[in-house]
Chain A
Amino acid sequence: MDIKEIIFWSLSTIAFITAIYTVIAKNPIFSAISLLVCFASIAGHYLLLNAQFLFIVHIIVYAGAIMVLFLTTLMLMNLNEETEKHKPAIAQIAALVIAVALGIVLMLAVRKANVILTMGPITGSVGDVKSLGTVLLSEYFYPFEFISVLLLSAMVGVVLLMKKDKTAALK
């Protein structure tokens, strides 16, 4: 077992444990924090795969933006007490059965597909900022511009949604 495998297995174990704790934790704040650790271990996977640009973007977007949004909303709603009711037992068992069946089907499908790809030596040109920027701004230039329009429209939509309804106050 070389160092890369040790890192891979420890990152995967951390990701599994924190993902499961995200699902089963009663307090939503604990769910959010544990999801943050899960995202950090996925970022470690990116670094292991030599995707340096995506490593930075993943940290900035998920840890910096999305988790802050989640935590702010949780604290805004004051849901940090353990008030959540559970689903009925039959629904919980059904969820478990569906999830296990889905996992088995996915594994069997991959096994049937028989993907054989051996890891070649990682060259420096895949995943670093320079080559990825070249591809992004030449081959995928129009999607890149459209994604900025999407983000702008999402921002406008959020501001419109969160505005207090003034007509309701007048009635």
Chain B
Amino acid sequence: MTLLNIFADPHISINHYIAVSAMLFTIGVFGVLFRRNAITIFMCIELMLNSVNLLLVAFSTYHHDNSGQVFVFFIMAVAAAEVAVGLAILVTIFRNLHTIDIDELKNLKN
């Protein structure tokens, strides 16, 4: 018996999409915890946002409701704004400290 019974189901059900999204989200969380490069951490955050978007679209299609896809549209706009501001902050940090290694950014510690 598999964890979600996704292999027993002959057709693609919502459980397949939940499993795929959960796996992608977990990979994103792992990347955020694993890497030291701040830009790669940003990419992993994008991966997590995309897994949630995929799940919203799947539920929207399975429920025959357009509202979920509108939410995904808004999430994409917020993600674009977030990436622009975040990368600008990273470039400013790099200009001042010449590194974007998150373990080196300890100015607030003492």
Contact = CB atoms under 8 A, between A and B. Distances in A.
A66 B83 contact: yes
B20 to A, nearest CB: 5
Contacts of A32: 43
A19 B47 contact: yes
B13 A132 contact: no
A69 to B, nearest CB: 6
Question: Which bucket holds chain A's interface residue count?
Answer: 35 or more
Interface in B35-90: 35-37, 39-40, 42-44, 46-47, 50, 53-54, 57-67, 69-70, 72-74, 76-85, 87-90
A23 B27 contact: yes
A135 B94 contact: no
Interface in B11-39: 11-20, 22-31, 33-37, 39
Interface of A: 4-5, 8, 12, 15-16, 19-20, 22-24, 28, 31-32, 35, 38-39, 42, 45-46, 49-51, 53-54, 57-58, 61-62, 65-66, 69-70, 73-74, 76-77, 79, 84-87, 91-92, 94-96, 98-100, 102-103, 106-108, 110-111, 115, 117-120, 122-123, 126-127, 131-132, 135-136, 139-140, 143, 147, 150-151, 154-155, 157-158, 161-162
